[in-house]
Structure 1
């Protein structure tokens, strides 16, 4: 089947029709295999074949993949479809650089070198590290042909996305989802899962905060979202006896919200657990000042510290007596 109306500069030949066409939006993940060919004197020369690699290709729609034409072609395909596309070389002139990076990552298992930017003219003197790809640059063919098999197209919410692929709004949505999911895990006593989700949410917020000026309205707004999630993380740390983490992160909350009774309460408990009794008492006194309904709870807290101190005094006294004994 021929479809010459695919897009200007591209001729499509459908090899196998697909069975499903889903809507494509920003963040859709395409999973596909491809083969790349150049044509020399009517003979096809294979350049790359993703099926010889250890996994299929993945491309996130709307995130400026270096071969923009691939996004356009994949968005037109049905899942399960196999098509060939003859593309005028000016549409895919970045292919040598893209293919070089893919070979380093997918075949050699090494990281691609940092990208250097150059115009089409200067590319004539530019080497990408592979002779066949350098030949494409120095002697560009009229067409490159891509045979593409679309394996699947995943909606943005159906897979775990890497943060670099997310917009700021998408990160905020992810943060709120992680918070609610973490709360559900905590209620079901899935402490490790809850801890991981709160931690990821805070890390995403920290990325957003880096872009805002401290003291600005947007920075304060993000910090207000961060504080309760960080306190949820602290509660998990309390349950896991990670008391110094609690002291550190509740102090962060209090730097932004100096009258947060939950932060003082959690820090008081952590300080008590590590025998920072003076600090624990000061924190709990602050809790009572901020929320008088917790007076009874605070009094029990103070009594428990007195009992611990009394036991410690007796233990120290016995140790001292033992040291004075004549052996």
Structure 2
């Protein structure tokens, strides 16, 4: 079969396929839930064929699950024309490559061991709406501003049908994601009770990422969005409880402040932030947070009283330490 015929098979405007190395067997069927493992290289259509991303350099092949939003739709089309072991080069016009920078950002973050969604980046709502959002990578920012045709060189390694593998959280549909949330929440709580904080934070984080993924498709501040926001905040506070026990006080202050900035009535966030301030001797901030707690919920008087006693003890210890430190100086 000639390359030209192969090109026609894709039947799509703006794609040209060239087989560089033939594969074996029949072309596998890709149905919803099929997991496809492949290597990819993305290149600009310039004289140097500048490489933008290369999974072989990263060292791990790409895995996508068919029918799932975590990817470029066009890759599904390209891969569905390939045999196992085949290496092919696809030229794709801008209509197919516009979202590539966003996908590439997620892939790069994963390769760097970060969450694909940076849900804890500091954002002040209004300012953020008007700022041009950088993706954090100069070459991807360029492509985002001015989409270009790209070459994708793909090597199809493996195709697994849904029954043949264990699906990970990011490979879920929105419906499945939301079902996964209470399960992850429960697992997180169990690990927390056992004192296994590393595992607990992992589960809470996964649950938050599931929620944030679904939330991006809702209209901000409308009812469905707010419901998800409430779930995410609850989990973030659980996550902060873990961080408190791990003595990551500044990170607790960061996350609780994010919640408070968006939701000024978040009692639990004020309470936790107050506790974190106590641990790092921010006396004025701690007192402010605890007085906000009492304004918002006078029923927490007993709990606050206890925390203020801890604060007084902390400050006395610190004053004593400072005195001892300076005693030797004079």
Q: TM-score range by the shorter chain?
A: 0.5 to 0.7
Match of 1:159 in 2: 166
* Aligned partners of 1:30 and 1:154 also within 8 Å: no
Residue 180 (structure 2) pairs with residue 169 (structure 1): no
Deviation at 1:291, TM superposition (A): 3.5
Deviation at 1:60, TM superposition (A): 4.4
Deviation at 1:300, TM superposition (A): 2.5
Distance 1:251 1:151, change over 3 A: closer
Pairing partner for 1:192 from 193, 198, 218: 198
TM-score, normalised by the number of residues in structure 2: 0.54
Question: What is the aligned residue count?
Answer: 222
Match of 2:77 in 1: 66
Match of 2:288 in 1: 282
* Aligned partners of 1:29 and 1:155 also within 8 Å: no
Q: Distance in 1 between matches of 2:327 and 2:193?
A: 49
Distance 1:171 1:323, change over 3 A: same
Deviation at 1:114, TM superposition (A): 7.9
Pairing partner for 2:236 from 202, 211, 230: 230
Q: What secondary structure is seen at the aligned counterpart in 2 of 1:66?
A: helix
Deviation at 1:196, TM superposition (A): 0.6
Residue 300 (structure 2) pairs with residue 294 (structure 1): yes
| Structure 1 unaligned residues grouped into runs of 5+ | 1-23, 32-54, 71-94, 105-111, 119-127, 134-149
Q: What secondary structure is seen at the aligned counterpart in 1 of 2:181?
A: helix
Deviation at 1:310, TM superposition (A): 2.5
RMSD: 4.4
User: Which structure's residues are more often strand, by fraction?
Assistant: 1
* Aligned partners of 1:268 and 1:279 also within 8 Å: yes
| Structure 2 unaligned residues grouped into runs of 5+ | 1-29, 38-59, 96-150
* Aligned partners of 2:78 and 2:90 also within 8 Å: no
Per-residue deviation, residues 56-83 of structure 1 (Å, max 9, x unmatched): 9988465574279x7xxxxxxxxxxxxx
Match of 2:246 in 1: 240
Deviation at 1:170, TM superposition (A): 1.9
* Aligned partners of 2:205 and 2:239 also within 8 Å: yes
Residues 53-202 of structure 1: pairs in structure 2 closer than 5 A? 60=65, 62=67, 65-66=76-77, 95=81, 98=82, 103=87, 115-116=92-93, 153-155=161-163, 159-161=166-168, 163=170, 165-202=171-208
Q: Distance in 2 between matches of 1:129 and 1:198?
A: 36
Larger Rg: 1
TM-score, normalised by the number of residues in structure 1: 0.54
